Copies of this chain bind each other. A is one copy, B any other.
Amino acid sequence: MSDYHPPIEDMQFLLHDVLGFQNDDLDRDTCEAILGEAAKLASEVLASLNSKGDEAGAKLEGGEVKTAPGFKEAYAQYREGGWNAVPFDEEFGGQGLPYALAFPIQEMWQGANMSFGLCPLLNQGAVEAISHHGSDEQKAYYLPNLIEGTWTGTMNLTEPGAGSDLGLIRSKAEADGDAYKISGQKIFITYGEHDMAENIIHLVLARLPDAPDDVKGISLFIVPKFLEDGSRNAVKCIGLEHKLGIHASPTCTMDFDSATGYLIGEAHQGLKYMFTMMNNARLSVGLQGVAIAERSYQHALAYANDRVQGKSFQTGERVAIAAHADVKRMLLTMKSQIEAGRALTYEAALALDNGDTAKVDILTPLVKSWCTDMACEVTSIGVQIHGGMGFIEETGAAQYMRDARILPIYEGTNGIQALDLVFRKTLRDGGKSVKEHIDAIRCDNFKKYFEALDMATGALLKAGGDKNLDLASAMAAPYLRGFALIAAGTLLQKSLVGLEGREDKFATEKRRTIEFFNTNILPLAKAHLDVAISGSGIITA
């Protein structure tokens, strides 16, 4: 029996009634059928492995990583169902489905089992990097297997001395005929080694001889675990991290000892290519936040409906705790923010499909940062609703909180996201795209919030104009928080339009959730923006 029920009704409502998803091959019923199939795999297979995977973890034995019991079989089922191919190019065996549909599907994998879902998430980055920047030969050789999922891909960026600051990367690449020899150590490599695929294709940032000693001197290489002739390449996993969460996802230390690698695209362009992998991965991480928050909510709601404790003020009878106003507040705080995050994330998926890069660029840091902070808050509330039981591992609520805690860290910390929003997305073009975006989502009901957002944007641009970049950095985090809340809030307002004429339970609950968001969550947006404007000076003083 599963305890995860993918929120298909919500997903469909959002796509078709709010965001205006249009696709001749994918009408509402077809989407329903596809989502229904994915939901089966997610809830019947992956969800039940989630806590088992947490307990068993992945194990490193003699250089080989054994994933937790059941993971290998589940991955085979996932791959055979064609799910790995969902968003990819049909030319290489992909299903060519739009992100608008691929995101709800991916939400299910992440909600069911985030440790499992990380493998396809990273693979997706590798497919995108090779699709966009690889040679025709590289595409022809790697993509079909990576898309089918017979092989999986990884992103090898971080080194002990180079985290957020990739300019410090020291891994080396030396030419060796048409290929290169790659040497160095990479840490925090998700699914760097495992037993679910026939081959593992590492995308590795390294530095060519004589390369500039900074981010401009980094190149991107393909380093397969098994070479084309079947021989084992000189890359191996030499350690697994002992982590707070996502225990079933092997986080590997990878050693490259003159491993054979192949340059992707041009030399010294690695950072640019990396962002191809990274940007979509950032949206996917935001989606992980929505997904795990939803899972945590479902768990907490079931407990709150079941646990009888305390009395009703009206009847004096003992009631389930879900009937108490303070618990209702917690449940609504979870639900309303999950729905806000989902709207923001799916909106980004549609923008990806529509090639609206200006929108994607702005939404990416909002989605990554806000949805993952939200996931930490929501999963912690999920623990709280369980009372003492929430602190007991067997209950399961704590796992969501532990797992979610990685989300504000990886694929660019949330601090880095805020700097991305401020420097790359706002100051770089003098505020042009941000202002256009804000004008496009402006709505009359939120006048005071947009005034605060306009003022904060103005203050940011002034700091940029004054070359006071420390001040702009200091403003970044609360600016992002306020911006994201308002952006998500406008999408919920759009949802109200999608509900017009409906008086069923779904519509009634959603109206209530939106009203809660507007009156209990959104007011914090103004506080954050005021803080960005008036509270940042002291930081740099």
Chain B positions within 8 Å of A318 at CB level:
165, 168
The 4 A-B residue pairs whose C-beta atoms are closest, nearest first, are A519-B535, A325-B473, A520-B535, A325-B474
Beta-carbon contact of B531 and A519 below 8 Å: yes
Beta-carbon contact of B163 and A309 below 8 Å: yes
Beta-carbon contact of A326 and B535 below 8 Å: no
| Distance (whole angstroms) from the CB of A168 to the closest CB of chain B | 7
Complex formed: what's the CA distance from A165 to B320 in Å?
11
Chain B positions within 8 Å of A241 at CB level:
391-392
A-side interface residues, number (CB < 8 Å): 78
A contact face: mostly helix, strand, loop, or mixed: helix
Contact of A415 among B327, B414, B538 (CB under 8 A): B327
A21 within 8 A of B: no
Beta-carbon contact of B523 and A530 below 8 Å: yes
Complex formed: what's the CA distance from A150 to B536 in Å?
52
Chain B positions within 8 Å of A216 at CB level:
none
A540 within 8 A of B: yes
Contact bitstring A312-337, B, C-beta under 8 A = 1, else 0: 01100010000011111110100000
A138 within 8 A of B: no
A272 within 8 A of B: no
Contact bitstring A510-531, B, C-beta under 8 A = 1, else 0: 0010011001100110110011
Beta-carbon contact of A512 and B541 below 8 Å: yes
Contact bitstring A407-424, B, C-beta under 8 A = 1, else 0: 011100111001100000
Beta-carbon contact of B163 and A388 below 8 Å: yes
Contact of A519 among B327, B406, B534 (CB under 8 A): B534
Chain B positions within 8 Å of A534 at CB level:
519, 523
Mark A residues whose CB is within 8 Å of B. 158, 162-165, 168, 187-188, 241-245, 309-311, 313-314, 318, 324-330, 332, 376, 380, 383-384, 387-388, 390-394, 398, 401-402, 405-406, 408-410, 413-415, 418-419, 469-471, 473-474, 476-478, 512, 515-516, 519-520, 523-524, 526-527, 530-531, 534-541
Beta-carbon contact of B244 and A402 below 8 Å: yes
Complex formed: what's the CA distance from A332 to B414 in Å?
17
| Distance (whole angstroms) from the CB of A310 to the closest CB of chain B | 5
Beta-carbon contact of A393 and B242 below 8 Å: yes
Chain B positions within 8 Å of A384 at CB level:
408-409, 413-415
Complex formed: what's the CA distance from A168 to B314 in Å?
19
| Distance (whole angstroms) from the CB of A281 to the closest CB of chain B | 15
Closest to A399 in B: B244
Closest to A516 in B: B538
Beta-carbon contact of B477 and A326 below 8 Å: yes
- Most B Cβ at <10 Å: residue of A242, A390, A391, A527: A391
